[in-house]
Chain A
């Protein structure tokens, strides 16, 4: 579990604003690395050539992907959310991938800040706040009709309203927890399997052949799976935000 622990860096544990600690931690460092890497990646695709090179093509395919996702889920009104959804998707994607970097082999330790709900929660609350702001700004109090689906019998309206309201209010938690749980579970699984490899190797060659080697082979497969999960979780976070934005934008 050491890989998830947060440590202040550069003697910054005393930094605070209005009594709140804002130490520059290893988690903060990887947020910075993710943001800078992402900025570098997108900046590399800004040559604005008519016939794009490979890098520009890569960046354009990402923006096209986000644009298509918003167009499919929100419609023409979704175009204005492209910057937010793009930032969200790419920031999470870069964070997930950077956290999987095998930097341990050179003595450094990658930190996956998306495996902390205090970090994913911020993104989830941001998305939820945008949904609320857009919804109430666009539809005023009519936004509450979101909680009463079409064709609900009048007698059922109070009950359905409560159920829909609860499911709506759960959204930020499910959004933030899903990402945190998926990332943490993957890392824990890899850690458990690697501890099998190490401790069985220490116990003897026989046990290593029985338990260590299969665990190691399984780890290779699970590493590939984790790369997939890293992409999928970023996609799911962005996609669900799109779906929620659709509710706010178009009601239903």
Chain B
């Protein structure tokens, strides 16, 4: 086994060169390069974390803006609804008023017409009375030869007309 057989002759060389080359590895690679590599990794991790945080912030801002927009939109909609309701109410009021005016006019016309009708009826009834009284007196004078008082005939006719 050369490890043991050659130990006495080679141990100092092995230890010396091991220290030299491991020392080289440690100081040049371990101390010189590895921290830079780790630094790069740390920077990348930090950048990723920062980007994520920025994205999160942007999302929160977008949410807030959307919320504000929604509030504004709701207010606008409510305002529009109020305007519509007001216009509708106003239109309804105007319509009602116009209807009332028309109704009044119609009522007046109706009342006048009714008055006229009843007047006509009354004058017609009086004319019928006159005609009936004349006819009755004529009939009485021709058949019975009596000359009756005009007032008596008229009252008899009126009584008959009323009681029919």
How does the 8 Å CB contact mask read for A48-89 relative to B, with 1 for contact and 0 for none? Answer: 111010001001100110010000000000000011101100
Q: Which of B1-46 contact A (CB under 8 A)?
A: 1-3, 6-7, 9-22, 24-26, 28-31, 33-38, 40-41, 43-44
A6 to B19 CA separation, bound complex (whole angstroms) = 17
Is the pair B26, A84 in contact by a Cβ cutoff of 8 Å?
Answer: yes
When the two chains form their complex, are residues A42 and B1 in contact, meaning their CB atoms are under 8 A apart? Answer: no
Question: Does B96 touch A at the CB level, under 8 Å?
Answer: no
Tell me the bound Cα distance from A205 to B18 in angstroms.
46
* B47 contacts A by Cβ under 8 Å: yes
The closest CB in chain A to the CB of B31 belongs to A83
* Residues in B whose Cβ lies below 8 Å from that of A27: 10, 13-14, 17
**Interface residue? A193 (CB, 8 A):** no
Report yes or no: A63 in contact with B18, Cβ–Cβ below 8 A. Answer: no
B31: A residues at CB distance < 8 A:
83
Closest residue of chain A to B26 (Cβ to Cβ) is A87
Taking CB atoms, residues of chain B closer than 8 Å to A87 are: 22, 25-26, 29-30, 34
Set of chain A residues within 8 Å of B22, measured between Cβ atoms: 31, 35, 87, 91, 122-123, 126
Does A240 sit at the interface, judged by CB under 8 A? Answer: no
Cβ of B3 to closest chain A Cβ, rounded Å: 5
- B-chain residues with CB within 8 Å of residue A119 when the two chains form the complex: 14, 18
Closest partner residue, chain A, to B44 (CB atom): A50
On whether the beta carbons of B13 and A21 are closer than 8 Å, the reply is yes
Q: Inside 8 A of B25's CB, which chain A residues have their CB?
A: 34-35, 38-39, 87, 90-91
A83-B35 Cα distance, complex, nearest whole Å: 7
Q: Is A4 in contact with B12, judged by CB distance below 8 angstroms?
A: no
Q: Provide the residues of chain B in CB contact with A35, threshold 8 Å.
A: 21-22, 24-25, 29
| Contact in complex: A4, B16 (CB < 8 Å) | no
**B91: min CB distance to chain A, Å:** 68
State whether B2 touches A23 (Cβ < 8 A): no
Query: Which of A31, A43, A63, A83 sits near B21, CB closer than 8 Å?
Result: A31
Give me 15 other A-B pairs in contact (C-beta within 8 A), A21-B12, A48-B36 excluded: A1-B1, A6-B6, A6-B14, A20-B16, A22-B13, A25-B10, A25-B17, A35-B25, A42-B33, A45-B37, A86-B29, A86-B34, A87-B25, A118-B15, A180-B3
Could you list some 19 contacts between A and B, CB below 8 A? A21-B12, A25-B10, A25-B14, A27-B17, A31-B21, A31-B22, A34-B21, A38-B25, A39-B24, A39-B33, A42-B29, A50-B47, A52-B44, A83-B35, A84-B26, A91-B25, A115-B3, A126-B22, A184-B3
